[in-house]
A and B are shown apart, each in its own frame.
Chain A
């Protein structure tokens, strides 16, 4: 345990009425890395993600952020501690301007968000910083556009700019390239690489091309449990990962039955 972990989960588990979506997951996210969570459909990636961001409450297990137990905290509270999430469908405020989107994020630290008797003009002080953030994602030309009119890839870029405004220590990205065309995927992937400097990123991602390009470390989930973990070479060479993606093969059933045998054994021991 010499490595510096930003986020750890200990035996994280989530049951939905008799169905175990996440089964004793132990994740260790090292500081300063891009960590990818992959796995076939229904593997529980999004559930894990929602547990980490507190949008769901785990049945059992613990979540540690910088060593602090955050298992029982509310989503807004962990956001204020520096854990900022993104969403699968782009999370922007569609009828605010692009600039206002970023400004709403900057505004929180000003401590005037309950001041209903003040003019919103005092928020103009934040404009320079907001434009700077828009520049960093290549959106400076769109500052006054109403967000709903932006193309999809740009909305994602805006979402990243908004997230950056909070200076997060840990960014949790839920399928950042989902539903995008090729140019947009590269644009967003480059952007993630760029903003990862000095931060830790945990991303759920389907696109293996993006994962191979970005991730320092990969955790593969299957049926709610961790299948394997390692860098891209290790993981992609693992035959079990191929099977998980390509379908059930003879070998996997062997693994399953051997697991069951082990389980039976341990039960015997307990008994």
Chain B
């Protein structure tokens, strides 16, 4: 009941937010929040640290961008295709990666993501270093013009809510129960008769597809698909967002993405623009050393300590 009120409050806030805040900034936050939530599904609920999620973000972005520019599809088709493409890539990468654990899993995903990076760098249709520029936003369902930032914002919000709901549902499903069991004690889950690699694989595909959804949407928002999205910096950034917000919590990645995007936007415009990386690094270190549970994790702990029983 309490959680429903929180959802309602956030939803109302999201509806009226563009009146007070710059819509493009809000859309950026939502795209990264969805990306971080998708990543958190793996890290927080299965215990798999993927260091290659940028590949899925970028794949979603490039596929949607290509289709919007060259095939003249409507944005919803473009986004669906981008999501599916990222999901297919996730199925391949995941199949290889889930065979390994811990640091090896992270390294396999990183290596595969670098493979994707160099592919997009060389492939003729991506525009190489320049990226795909001037991707049209198009008309949603053929008649809603998305070039207007406000209608675009509500479309992005709808996409985000869908993605968030998918993750929420996955976590609170019979499948999610098994994922949690695997995270908690993998040998025991095996001894109960679960083929844990299959479960990890399905979770990986869901996570990759939703990361692709975030990438597709982001491409429409900025009308740009570039190498930044497939670069390993991006894979690192999503780790930071998730840890800062609180991994394994539903709202953590949302808050973490909001915080990181806000800090970056704020700093890059000011005198400290050249120090963004250093400042983010310091935040990361402080987060890992001082409040390892992240913002939401620490709030939960505080609430439990003072108001729980």
Interfacial residues, chain A to chain B (CB-CB below 8 A): 53, 55, 74-77, 79-80, 84-87, 91-96, 100, 103-105, 107-108, 110, 112-120, 122-123, 162, 166
Contacts and interface: CB of A to CB of B under 8 A. Distances in A.
11 contacts: A75-B191, A76-B193, A80-B193, A92-B188, A93-B188, A95-B180, A100-B177, A110-B174, A114-B198, A117-B170, A117-B173
A21 to B, nearest CB: 19
Interface residues of B, number: 27
A116 B202 contact: yes
Given A114-B202, A120-B177, A79 B192 contact: yes
Contacts of B180: 93, 95-96
Contacts of B266: none
Given A55-B187, A119-B173, A114 B192 contact: no
Contacts of A93: 180-181, 184-185, 188
A166 B169 contact: no
Contacts of B185: 91-94
A94 B194 contact: no
A114 B188 CA distance: 18
Contact of A76 (B170, B174, B176, B194): B194
A84 B192 CA distance: 7
Given A92-B185, A104-B181, A115 B173 contact: yes
Contact of A108 (B169, B172, B194, B196): B194
B188 A115 contact: no
B172 A120 contact: yes
A80 B184 CA distance: 20
B107 to A, nearest CB: 24
Contact of B193 (A53, A118, A122, A166): A166
B192 A104 contact: yes
Contact of A114 (B169, B175, B196): B175
Q: Residue among B184, B192, B206 with the most chain A CB within 10 A? A: B192
Q: Residue among B178, B187, B188, B198 with the most chain A CB within 10 A? A: B188
Nearest to B178: A113
B66 interface: no
Given A75-B190, A85-B191, A96-B181, A120 B196 contact: no
A149 B271 CA distance: 51
Contacts of B198: 114
Contacts of B170: 116-117
A84 B191 contact: yes
Given A92-B185, A93-B185, A113 B191 contact: no
Contacts of B169: 116-117, 119
B4 interface: no
A87 B202 contact: no
Contacts of A115: 173-175
B154 interface: no
Q: Residue among B172, B174, B199 with the most chain A CB within 10 A? A: B174
